[in-house]
């Protein structure tokens, strides 16, 4: 059974909030709705596409309007995912090192699977063993159902889960897997500490690599 490092995608490996914000603003504009400053999307992402759109739409928006904005965003953002995204500094090298050491690397994300697939091809080719997104009939993170299925499909033993948000803190606890949180994502170090005073934080890829080396050593005994 190979060791596995499981990652969140947005704000953890991929600097995606600017693209998400731009695409969401385009979807809002198509429906004659007010748009948001890009930094505001840091507080909207992490819980899947529907909740993102509910947060972005004006309070009291009806279901029909929300559905139209979801459809517009899904179309616009899925196309954007076919373009190479921006990985945080040091991420490609770290993923390559892990795989060279025989460590499996995989992503579990609340993005719909078609968007995850598009990014897997455009941005993560050769860097990950699996990319799993939202699937019909299965709950989103922090429910551990999908992550457990992913781990089982790889016949792997998870050494660590790496994320960047309160959702990731909860998923790590639900999986019973040591969790490392990146401070370069959608939540500040202060927000992460408020959610979990014992959270293990990393500010950059070098710090993450050091922490993962220790987790892998612990797993191997």
End-to-end CA distance of the chain: 14
How many angstroms separate the Cα of 116 from the Cα of each of 4, 17, 19, 21, 67? 19, 15, 14, 17, 21
**How big, in percent rounded to 5, are the helix, strand and coil portions of the chain?**
50, 15, 35
Across residues 179-188, what is the average pLDDT? 96
Active site residues: 8
Asked if the model's pLDDT at residue 54 lies above 90, the reply is yes
Average pLDDT estimate for 159-185: 97
**What are 140's two structure tokens?**
């989103």
Residues 190-208: what's their mean pLDDT?
97
176's tokens: 């019973």
Please give the mean pLDDT across all residues of the chain.
96
Instruction: Report which secondary-structure segment, H or E, holds 53.
Output: helix 49-56
* Alpha carbon distance 68, 47 (integer Å): 19
Would strands 104-112 and 2-7 be described as parallel, antiparallel, or unpaired? Answer: parallel
* Contact (Cβ atoms closer than 8 angstroms) between residue 27 and residue 73: yes
pLDDT at 159: 97
Q: Which two tokens stand for residue 157?
A: 């033993």
State the average pLDDT over residues 107-129: 96
Q: What integer is the mean pLDDT of 93-102? A: 97
**What was the pLDDT predicted at 210?**
98
Instruction: Give the SS3 label for residue 51.
Output: helix
Cα 158 to Cα 98: distance, rounded to the nearest angstrom:
13
Give strand pairing partners of 134. 112
| Predicted local distance difference test score (pLDDT) of residue 136 | 86
| pLDDT higher than threshold 90 for residue 137 | no
Backbone phi and psi for residue 138, each to the nearest 5 degrees, phi listed first = -115, 140
What is the per-residue pLDDT for 36?
Answer: 98
Q: What is the pLDDT of residue 107?
A: 98
* 3-state secondary structure (DSSP) of residue 116: helix
Tokens 């992550």 locate to: 147
Instruction: Tell me the average pLDDT across 34-56.
Output: 95
Q: What is the mean pLDDT of residues 84-107?
A: 97
pTM for this prediction = 0.93
């Amino acid at each position: 059974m190979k060791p596995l490092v499981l990652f969140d995608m947005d704000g953890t490996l991929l600097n995606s909030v600017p693209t998400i914000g731009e695409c969401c603003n385009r979807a809002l504009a198509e429906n004659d709705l007010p748009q948001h400053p890009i930094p505001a999307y840091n507080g909207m992402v992490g819980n899947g596409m529907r909740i993102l759109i509910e947060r972005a739409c004006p309070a009291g928006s009806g279901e029909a309007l929300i559905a139209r904005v979801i459809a517009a965003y899904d179309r616009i953002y899925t196309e954007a995912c076919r373009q190479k995204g921006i990985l945080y500094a040091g991420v490609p090298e770290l993923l390559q090192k892990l795989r060279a050491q025989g460590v499996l690397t995989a992503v579990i994300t609340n993005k719909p699977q078609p968007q995850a697939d598009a990014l897997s091809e455009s941005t993560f080719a050769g860097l990950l063993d699996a990319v799993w997104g939202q699937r019909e009939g299965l709950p989103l993170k922090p429910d551990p159902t999908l992550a457990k299925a992913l781990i089982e499909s790889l016949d792997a033993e998870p050494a660590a889960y790496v994320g960047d948000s309160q959702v990731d803190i909860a998923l790590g606890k639900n999986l019973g897997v040591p969790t490392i949180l990146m401070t370069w994502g959608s939540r500040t170090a202060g927000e992460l500490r408020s959610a979990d005073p014992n959270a293990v934080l990393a500010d950059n890829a070098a710090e993450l690599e050091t922490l993962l080396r220790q987790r892998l050593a612990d797993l191997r005994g």
